[in-house]
Structure 1
Amino acid sequence: MEFELKILGSASATPYLDRHHTAQILTVDSQAYLIDCGEGTQRRLMEYKIRHQRIGSIFISHLHGDHFFGLFGLLSTMHLHGRTEPLQLFGPAGLDEVLTTQFRVSNTQLTFNLEFTVVDTTAFAQVYEDRYLTVHTLPMRHRIACCGYLFREKPKRRHLVKERLLSGLTPAQLSALTHGEDLYDEAGQVLVRNADVTTAPNHSRSYAYCSDTLYTESNAELVHGVDLLYHEATFLDDMRERAATTHHSTARQAALFARKAEVRHLLIGHFSSRYRDLEPLLREAKAVFDSVELATEGKTVSLPE
């Protein structure tokens, strides 16, 4: 089953040349999850041939414009194209007020239900669940209320070894085996040991999105061992005082966090427009954590099972 992240935007406060405001698409099987929605997001979706009809949930980290100014335009396009499927929206308090005002003054009445959930940006808490995964908030330390999001694939079923199975087992019994259960006869004796007839399930994949934040080592425990981590890296480390003042991180700090969390792979993004060349940020991060790449426009990471 597909588990793929595509970067739509990598810029920080202001766009720069071919760098756009923050937005990412996580695709799991047939379902698409939009993470942040900076200005121009719907255009980026068109460029990468991602149909907005596939988006069932949108997760907004905070209410700085470079992370959500594209949202009203995207919702309006969904409305104009006659969307009828409900859309789930997650974000900090105040986002509902902004959207309600925009809808009111433009006399827009959506053709679909927009189901908004206010998230507590100070807590690590589950806010979403579907057949594929769960989503938890990750508390960030920024100038305003801000959170990241942790996407974890649900545990998968064990694999049946057909040649080891007893004949005549019912569908319910086979299902129980795939869920790791033993089978018992009427006398309560073990009929089939799960370990004898199944093999381990495929790997459940995970992605952590750490939006705008000061370096926060304590969060490493929350994302420990994830397959893929995105961490903002607005500045080089020689600008760490500027990063602290603006509540951002440096490339070196992002790499230190990845090493502390023992993640498998790191993406850095949210680059300041002061950097035309991004290779110095990559080199700085690689000096601390080897498995790192730039989260630039069009970058796609597919996680194997």
Structure 2
Amino acid sequence: MGFSVTVLGSNSALPTSERNPTAQVLEASGRFFLIDCGEGTQMQLRRNRVHFGRINHIFISHLHGDHVFGLPGLISTFGLLGRTKDLHIYAISDLEKLLTPLIDYFNRDLPFKVVYHPFIAERDELIYQDNLLEIKTIPLKHRVPTVGFLFREKCKLRKINKQACDFYDVPVKWLHRIKEGEDFVSENGTVIENMKLTLNPPPSVSYAFCTDTRVHDGLIRAVEGVDMLYHEATFLKDQTELAVRTFHSTAEQAARVANEANVGKLLLGHFSSRYRDLTPFLDEARDIFPNSFLAREGDSFDV
């Protein structure tokens, strides 16, 4: 299963000539999930050649403009392109109250249905699942109700050991049951243990998106062991007091979260517009967590 993240926007409240407000696309086995939708997102989708029609699920972390102002325009564009498939939006309930009047005024004949999936930001919830993937919220600490999102593959089926199955004359009709973990029972009643007939499946992968938050213990527990963590780094450590006051984090703090949670890879983003050169963010993080990277517009990362 392919599992990768493309950065569409990496800046915080104010866009710059080089960086856009927050947005990412997660591709999982040919499906595309949009995470946040700051202003300019649809232009970034164009630049990164993400087909609009493949986006059916949008996840909004919180209702600050740099994470949601691009959504009305994107919905309007979907309508102009003749979209007919339902669009699913996951956010706190206030988003529906805000978006509905805009859609009713500007897109009265919208040819598709916008389906809202409200969640409560103060608790973790399973908000989406299919046969391959599940998505949960992570409560964060910001000035307004805010969540992160944990994308995790479900446990995969075991792999058939063809040589062993041939040796024990396992019929084809049994193979799917064996992949699901069943022991094989032959016609004469002999039981062959599943472990003798299968190989371990490929490991499931996970990605956590956490932005606009102070560091807290619940966050560290929630992202424990994920393969890749996107964590906001709005400021450098010399502005730690400002980060605390504004309910944000520094690059150093993000690296400490990654280190304590034993994650595989750290992506830094949500940079303040006061910084033009982002190299100090990477240096600050790598002093603590070497496998750190900057989330820049257009960059893609395999989870």
Common fold: TM-score over 0.5: yes
| Superposed displacement of residue 294, structure 1 | 0.4
**Map of 1:302 onto structure 2:** 302
Per-residue CA deviations over 1:94-142 (Å, capped at 9, x if unaligned) read 1001110101222523211211011111111111001220000000100
CA change 1:168–1:180 in 2 (3 A) is closer
CA change 1:284–1:174 in 2 (3 A) is same
What amino acid maps onto 2:143 in structure 1? R
TM-score, normalization by structure 2: 0.96
Does 1:270 pair with 2:270?
yes
**Map of 2:282 onto structure 1:** 282
SS in 1 for 2:297: coil
Q: Counterparts in 2 of 1:18-57, with a 5 A limit?
A: 18-57=18-57
**Map of 2:175 onto structure 1:** 174
Take 1:110 and 1:130, find their aligned partners in 2: how far apart are those partners?
A: 27
Take 1:79 and 1:21, find their aligned partners in 2: how far apart are those partners?
A: 23
> Which shifted more, 189-198 or 87-96?
189-198
Take 1:194 and 1:259, find their aligned partners in 2: how far apart are those partners?
A: 37
| Superposed displacement of residue 218, structure 1 | 2.5
What amino acid maps onto 2:272 in structure 1? S
% identity of equivalent residues? 44
Take 1:190 and 1:80, find their aligned partners in 2: how far apart are those partners?
A: 63
Take 2:55 and 2:159, find their aligned partners in 1: how far apart are those partners?
A: 30
**Map of 2:85 onto structure 1:** 85
| Superposed displacement of residue 186, structure 1 | 6.8
**Map of 2:163 onto structure 1:** 163
Take 1:168 and 1:18, find their aligned partners in 2: how far apart are those partners?
A: 59
Does 1:254 pair with 2:254?
yes
**Map of 1:195 onto structure 2:** 195
8 Å contact 2:170–2:184 — kept in the other structure?
Answer: no
| Superposed displacement of residue 267, structure 1 | 0.2
SS in 1 for 2:220: helix
Take 1:85 and 1:30, find their aligned partners in 2: how far apart are those partners?
A: 17
8 Å contact 2:8–2:25 — kept in the other structure?
Answer: yes
**Map of 1:113 onto structure 2:** 113
SS in 2 for 1:120: coil
Take 1:27 and 1:221, find their aligned partners in 2: how far apart are those partners?
A: 25
Take 2:218 and 2:58, find their aligned partners in 1: how far apart are those partners?
A: 26
Take 1:69 and 1:241, find their aligned partners in 2: how far apart are those partners?
A: 28
Take 1:286 and 1:168, find their aligned partners in 2: how far apart are those partners?
A: 52
Take 1:110 and 1:228, find their aligned partners in 2: how far apart are those partners?
A: 37
Take 1:3 and 1:156, find their aligned partners in 2: how far apart are those partners?
A: 14
Q: Counterparts in 2 of 1:125-136, with a 5 A limit?
A: 125-136=125-136
What amino acid maps onto 2:62 in structure 1? H
**Structure 1 residue ranges (4+ consecutive) displaced by more than 3 angstroms after TM superposition:** none
Name structure 2 gaps, 5 residues minimum.
Answer: none
> Which shifted more, 113-122 or 145-154?
113-122
| Superposed displacement of residue 161, structure 1 | 1.4
What amino acid maps onto 2:169 in structure 1? S
